Amino acid sequence: MDTNYDKLLDRAFAKLPTLSAENVDFKIPLADSMVQGAKTLIKNFGQIADVARRDKAEMARYMAKELAAPTSVEEQRLIISSKVNSDVINAKVKKYFETYVICKECHKPDTHIESTSRGFLTIVCEACGARYTIKHY
Ligand SMILES: [Zn+2]
């Protein structure tokens, strides 16, 4: 390991505001999925919901709507009653995070859903205080 390079890197990072450094660290999780017969399992669904800080049942409803197939949660796994390619699943997970989790103002994932009213959700960001309403899925 090149310590000089590390020190340089440390210094470079130290100069950046904390916000940017944290933004770089956040990665939308990848779904670990597999097709089994006529169904598809997302093995790490519970973990994805934890990262999103959303209820598994809530995310399962979103996936069902997006994939046009019934879903059910079984402990940490999501079972989709259809064969779905992992690229498609990951695109939906990404879309979920971009729309419902990552703050549209500061781009941090520290948000929660505060209230739901007919057809809408209010997203509140704990990092920057932004609140906005978006269409429910
Ligand atoms: Zn924010």
Within 10 angstroms of residue 54's Cβ, the number of other Cβ atoms is 19
Within 10 angstroms of residue 58's Cβ, the number of other Cβ atoms is 16
Residues across the chain: 137
Q: What is the CA(116)–ligand 1 centre distance, in A?
A: 19
Contact predicate 79/89, CB 8 Å: no
Residue whose structure tokens are 């402990």: 75
* pLDDT mean over 10-14: 62
Domain that holds residue 68: 27-101
Mean pLDDT across the chain, nearest whole number?
89
pTM, two decimal places: 0.80
Q: What is the CA(132)–ligand 1 centre distance, in A?
A: 10
What's the pLDDT score for residue 49?
A: 97
- pLDDT tens for 58-88 read 999 999 999 999 999 999 999 999 999 999 9
**What is the domain count for the chain?**
1
In the chain the first and final C-alpha atoms are separated, in Å, by 48
Contact predicate 86/94, CB 8 Å: no
* pLDDT mean over 51-63: 95
Q: What is the CA(123)–ligand 1 centre distance, in A?
A: 10
Which one-letter DSSP state was computed for residue 29? P
Within a domain: residue 90? Answer: yes
Within a domain: residue 50? Answer: yes
Q: What is the CA(109)–ligand 1 centre distance, in A?
A: 8
Q: What is the CA(106)–ligand 1 centre distance, in A?
A: 4
Q: What is the CA(12)–ligand 1 centre distance, in A?
A: 24
Q: What is the CA(111)–ligand 1 centre distance, in A?
A: 7
The CATH number covering residue 36 comes to: 3.30.30.170
Percentage of the chain surpassing pLDDT 70?
A: 82
Within a domain: residue 68? Answer: yes
Q: Tell me: pLDDT of 121 over 80.
A: yes
